[in-house]
Amino acid sequence: MADKVLIVGGGISGITAAVEAAEAGLEAVIIEKNTYLGGRVAQLHKYFPKLCPPYCGLEINFKRIKQNPKISFHTLSEVKSISGSEGNYQVTVQVNPGYVNEKCTCCNDCVAECPGERANDFNYGMDTTAAIYLPHEMSFPMRYVLDKNACGSGCTKCVDACKYGAIDLDMQARTVEFNVSSVVFATGWNPYDASKIDNLGFGVAKNVITNVMMERLAAPNGPTRGKIVRPSDGKEVKNIAFAQCAGSRDENNLDYCSSVCCMASLKQATYLRDCYPEDSKATIFYIDLRAAGKYEDFLMLVKADENVTMTKGKVAKIEEDPATGDVTVTVEDILGGGKVEATFDMVVLAAGMESAAKGANLPADLVYEANGFMDSKQKVAGLHACGVARWPDDVATSVQDGTGAALKSIQSNGGIPKTADAVEMSGGN
Partner 1 sequence: MADPKLGVYICSDCGIGEALDTEKLENIAKNQYRIEVVKTVPFLCSQEGAQVIRDDINNEGVNKIVIAACSPRVNSDTFDFDPAQYITERVNVREHIVWSQLPAAVEEEPAQEAGTEAPAEASGDEAAAAAPAEAAPETAEEPAEAAKPAVNENTQEMAEDHLRMGIVRAQKSEPPEPVIEAVERTVLVIGGGAAGLTSALESAKAGYKAILAEKEAVLGGWAGKMYKILPDKPPFEDVKTPDIDEKIAAVQSHENITVLMEAHIDSIAGTPGQYDATISHNGSTETHRVGSVVMAIGWKPYDAGKLEHLGYGKFKNVVTNVEVEEMAAANNGTISKPSDGQQAKRVAFLQCAGQRDPEHLPYCSSVCCMTSLKQALYVTESDPDASAFIVYKDMRTPGLYENFYKAAQNNPGVMLTKGEIVSITEDATGNIILEIDNTILGEKVRIEADMLVLATGMVTNMLPEGAEKVTDLTPEYVGQWKETETQDGIIKEVIADPVVLNLAYRQGPELPYLKYGFPDSHFVCFPYETRRTGIYAAGAVRAPMTAMQSANDGVGAALKAIQCVELTSRGQSVHPRSGDESFPEINFTNCTQCRRCTVECPFGVLDEDEKGTPKTNTSRCRRCGTCMGACPQRIISFKNYSVDMIASQMKAIKVPEEDSKPRIVALICENDAYPALDIAGLNKIQTNPFYRFITMRCLGGTNLVWIADALSAGIEGFLLIGCRYDDDYQCHFVKGSKAASERLGKVQETLSRLMLEAERVTQVQLAMNEWDQLPKIMNDFAEQLKGFGPNPFKGF
Partner 2 sequence: MADETVDKTEETAGAEEETAAEAIAEETAVTAAEAPAEGAGTEVPVVAETAFEGEEPAISEAAVAAPAKEVVAITPDVSFVRDIIKGGGVDLKKCYQCATCSVVCNVTPNESPFPRKEMMWAQWGLKDKLVGDPDVWLCHQCSDCVAQCPRGAKPGRVMQTIAKMSIPSLSKPGFLAKGIGNPSSLILMVAIPVLILLAVIARFGHLTNPERGEVVNGVPVHPGEIVYGSFLGHWPIVIVFSTFFVLSIIIFALGVRNYWGMMKKHVQEEGNDVSGSGMSQVGPVIGEIASHKKFGKCDETKDRKISHLFIFYAFGLLFAATIISTILTDFPLLWGGEGSLSPYPTISLVKLFGYTGAIAGAVGIGLIIINRIKHQEKIGIGSYFDWLLISVVLVIMITGIGSVAFRKFDVGVVAYPIYFVHLSSVLFLFIFAPFSKMSHMVYRATAMVFAKTVGRDTPM
117 binds partner 1 (CB under 8 A): no
Q: Which is closer to partner 2, CB of 148 or CB of 339?
A: 339
Tell me the backbone φ, ψ of residue 279, rounded to 5 degrees: -130, 30
Cβ atoms of 32 and 7 closer than 8 Å: no
Rg of the Cα atoms in the chain:
23
**DSSP 8-state symbol, 42:** G
Cβ atoms of 429 and 411 closer than 8 Å: no
Given partner 2, partner 1, none, residue 332, with its beta carbon under 5 to 8 Å by kind, binds partner 2
45 binds partner 1 (CB under 8 A): yes
Q: Which is closer to partner 2, CB of 44 or CB of 246?
A: 246
d(CA 267, CA 305): 12
| Nearest distance, CB of residue 381 and partner 2, angstroms | 38
Concatenating the DSSP letter of every residue in 186-203 gives: ---EEE--GGG-TTS-BT
Given partner 1, partner 2, none, residue 80, with its beta carbon under 5 to 8 Å by kind, binds none
421 binds partner 1 (CB under 8 A): yes
| Nearest distance, CB of residue 34 and partner 2, angstroms | 32
27 binds partner 1 (CB under 8 A): no
Subset of 233-252 contacting partner 2 (CB under 8 A) = 245, 249-252
47 binds partner 1 (CB under 8 A): yes
Beta strand 132-133 with 145-146 is antiparallel
81 binds partner 2 (CB under 8 A): no
Subset of 203-242 contacting partner 1 (CB under 8 A) = 219-221, 225-226
Concatenating the DSSP letter of every residue in 123-142 gives: GTTSSEEESEE-S-TT-SS-
290 binds partner 2 (CB under 8 A): no
290 binds partner 1 (CB under 8 A): yes
374 binds partner 2 (CB under 8 A): no
Concatenating the DSSP letter of every residue in 284-320 gives: EEESS----GGGHHHHHHHHTSTTEEEEES---EEEE
Subset of 356-375 contacting partner 1 (CB under 8 A) = 369-371, 373, 375
204 binds partner 2 (CB under 8 A): no
Subset of 297-356 contacting partner 2 (CB under 8 A) = 313-317, 330-332, 334, 336, 338-340
User: In terms of C-beta distances under 8 Å and separation of at least 24 residues, what long-range contacts does 217-220 make, across chains too?
Assistant: 217/126, 217/271, 218/45, 218/46, 218/268, 218/271, 218/275, 219/45
Q: Which is closer to partner 2, CB of 334 or CB of 416?
A: 334
323 binds partner 1 (CB under 8 A): no
Q: Which is closer to partner 2, CB of 335 or CB of 422?
A: 335
Q: CA dihedral in degrees (56, 72, 120, 224; nearest 10)?
A: 10
| Nearest distance, CB of residue 272 and partner 2, angstroms | 25
Number of residues that bind partner 1 (CB under 8 A): 102
Q: In this chain, which of 4, 33, 46, 273 binds partner 1, going by CB under 8 A?
A: 46
Per-residue x/- marks for partner 1, 139-168, CB under 8 A?
A: ---x--------------------xx----
- Which one of the spans 80-88, 178-186, 275-283, 287-295 is the region binding partner 1 (CB under 8 A)? 287-295
Residue 422 bridge partners (DSSP): none
Cβ atoms of 393 and 260 closer than 8 Å: yes
CA 384 to chain centre: 20
Cβ atoms of 170 and 158 closer than 8 Å: no
Cβ atoms of 402 and 16 closer than 8 Å: yes
Q: In this chain, which of 31, 93, 130, 275 binds partner 1, going by CB under 8 A?
A: 130
Given partner 1, partner 2, none, residue 345, with its beta carbon under 5 to 8 Å by kind, binds none
Q: Is the peptide bond before 231 cis (omega within 30 degrees of 0)?
A: no
> Which region, left, alpha or beta, applies to residue 129 given φ > 0 means left and ψ of -120 to 50 means alpha?
beta
72 binds partner 2 (CB under 8 A): no
Residues engaged in binding partner 2 (CB under 8 A): 199, 245, 249-253, 287, 313-317, 330-332, 334, 336, 338-340
